[in-house]
Amino acid sequence: MNDRRMEILDAAEALVRERGAGHLTLDAVAARVGYSKGGLIHRFPNKVALIEAMIDRVIDEVDSEHRALRAETDGRANADLLAVIERERRMPEADADLRRGLLVAAAEQPDLLARPRAYIAERFRAVREQADDPVWATLLLFAAEAPGLFELMGLYELPADERRALFDRLAALAAGNADDEEAEA
Amino acid sequence: MNDRRMEILDAAEALVRERGAGHLTLDAVAARVGYSKGGLIHRFPNKVALIEAMIDRVIDEVDSEHRALRAETDGRANADLLAVIERERRMPEADADLRRGLLVAAAEQPDLLARPRAYIAERFRAVREQADDPVWATLLLFAAEAPGLFELMGLYELPADERRALFDRLAALAAGNADDEEAEA
DNA sequence: TCGGTCAAACCGACCAGTCGGTCGGAATTA
DNA sequence: TAATTCCGACCGACTGGTCGGTTTGACCGA
């Protein structure tokens, strides 16, 4: 039952990863998972439902990663920001392929972005709420998110060493002293 | 001659803006510009050529905006970074719609992203090269780019006042003191 | 001024392929 | 035996691209 659905989602993810969102067709998914199209439709009534399920699964995974990291930073100042930075630092490129595909697929059906949008808004809200200096926290948050976004769109990839240096700096800034970095300003 | 091509590009842009990249079909463009499909193909041999031309035009426009701002910051430290920040601060949302559409269209044909990718890489390289502290400059650069990227993907929109506050801070940090903000670290 | 010529510009019916979704029925399971 | 699961041929809509033909207008010789 749910196993079957998971198999289908696995196949769909693999397709998006390997061939891009444009090749995510019901026939291709069915062929890959060893189903017929009819069988596929039996589990997901239509393509939108399939994409929704894929997005839900990705978000659930991201969320659980975040919670795990968040548990480690609990109690410290800017706990959420630190967790976000750490998660972005570790994000494997393979995931970027998948997420890009999903976003491309979702871009045609903007309502599919509702869940990711809500998730991101909530995350950002929490970061700002925790911060002594919300503007500074937002700045660090955005700086931490940007590399992943650029990779997501296939527009830019920071060299590995500079990437590391950037996240080291971000982590230090977010950890040590949340609101006096630009005291000279 | 070129006027006609521009008319066609205008129509294609309007379509992407209003209805999304998924509705960018040759028939739709032809109908909008008052051409037949044959006449359209006479100007752009195929759809990829059309999208390429659209991307080229957008990049040219972005580049000229950047050059104009860059002229104002010339001579100052981190001149390119300051210009980027200022351009991002002013970017109208209308442009985001178009660029998102183009990116979605291009995502299916990754080679179409070659020009934007090269342009971005060059811009970032310049910013880092100018900086006394490249990591810090990269951090500010990414923080400045992220809001536009989130809008581009339709994933998040910073409230106007916080957006303003963020860019004010960014401009101040990039201008005043390029490498001692985190002296305490 | 006028008729003719030719290339560029443009037309639109048509083709071939793709894709989401349907449906009647077969197989499997409880 | 009844319900669930699955099959796969088929349909209809859409789209990128083709192609034979028509229109337009600049140029030319008489």
Instruction: Output the pLDDT for position B141.
Output: 98
Q: For residue B89, which of B17, B173, B146 has the smallest C-alpha distance?
A: B146
Can you read off the two tokens belonging to residue A117? 């949008």
Helix axes A134-153, A114-130, angle to 10 degrees: 150
Instruction: Output the pLDDT for position B87.
Output: 96
Instruction: Output the pLDDT for position B179.
Output: 45
Check residues 4 to 23 of chain A and report those whose beta carbon is under 7 Å from nucleic acid strand C: 23
Tell if the CB–CB gap between A184 and B176 is shorter than 8 Å.
Answer: yes
Tell if the CB–CB gap between B153 and A182 is shorter than 8 Å.
Answer: no
Average confidence (pLDDT) over A25-40: 93
Instruction: Output the pLDDT for position B158.
Output: 95
Contacting residues of A for B115, CB less than 8 Å apart: none
Q: Determine the residue type at B48.
A: V
Nearest to A182 among B22, B138, B181 (CB): B181
Nearest to B120 among A117, A156, A177 (CB): A156
Nearest to B154 among A110, A121, A169 (CB): A110
Instruction: Output the pLDDT for position A139.
Output: 98
* Closest chain B residue by Cα to residue A172: B185
Asked if A30 and A37 touch (Cβ cutoff 8 Å), the reply is yes
pLDDT band at A178 (very low <50, low <70, confident <90, very high): very low
Structural domains present in chain B: 3-176 (1.10.357.10)
Query: Using one digit for the tens of pLDDT, what is the confidence trace for A42-79?
Result: 999 999 999 999 999 999 999 999 999 999 999 999 99
Tell if the CB–CB gap between B185 and A176 is shorter than 8 Å.
Answer: yes
Mean per-residue pLDDT over chain A, rounded? 89
Can you read off the two tokens belonging to residue B69? 């701002």
- By residue count, chain A amounts to 185
Query: Using one digit for the tens of pLDDT, what is the confidence trace for A103-120?
Result: 777 777 888 999 999 999
Q: Can you state the percent helix, strand and coil of chain A, rounding each to 5? A: 80, 0, 20
Report CA(A40)–C1'(C26) in Å, whole number: 17
A12/chain B closest Cα distance in angstroms? 17
Tell if the CB–CB gap between A169 and B103 is shorter than 8 Å.
Answer: no
Nearest to A184 among B104, B154, B177 (CB): B177
Q: Is the minimum distance from the CB of A42 to strand D below 7 Å?
A: yes
Instruction: Output the pLDDT for position A101.
Output: 78
Instruction: Output the pLDDT for position B180.
Output: 47
Helix axes B79-90, B47-73, angle to 10 degrees: 120
Instruction: Output the pLDDT for position B108.
Output: 74
Q: Is the minimum distance from the CB of A64 to strand C below 7 Å?
A: no
Average confidence (pLDDT) over A152-161: 92
Per residue of chain B (185 residues), what is the pLDDT tens digit?
A: 477 899 999 999 999 888 888 889 999 999 999 999 999 999 999 999 999 999 999 999 999 999 999 999 999 999 999 999 999 999 877 777 788 778 777 777 888 999 999 999 999 999 999 999 999 999 999 999 999 999 988 899 999 999 999 999 999 999 975 444 444 33
Runs of H (alpha helix) within A25-113 = 26-33, 37-43, 47-73, 79-90, 93-108
A103/chain B closest Cα distance in angstroms? 8
Query: Using one digit for the tens of pLDDT, what is the confidence trace for A77-136?
Result: 999 999 999 999 998 777 887 887 787 777 778 889 999 999 999 999 999 999 999 999
Instruction: Output the pLDDT for position A179.
Output: 45
pLDDT above 80 for A183:
no
Instruction: Output the pLDDT for position A82.
Output: 97
Find and list the nucleotides of strand C having atoms within 7 Å of a protein beta carbon: 9-14, 18-25
Instruction: Output the pLDDT for position B185.
Output: 37
Instruction: Output the pLDDT for position B177.
Output: 53
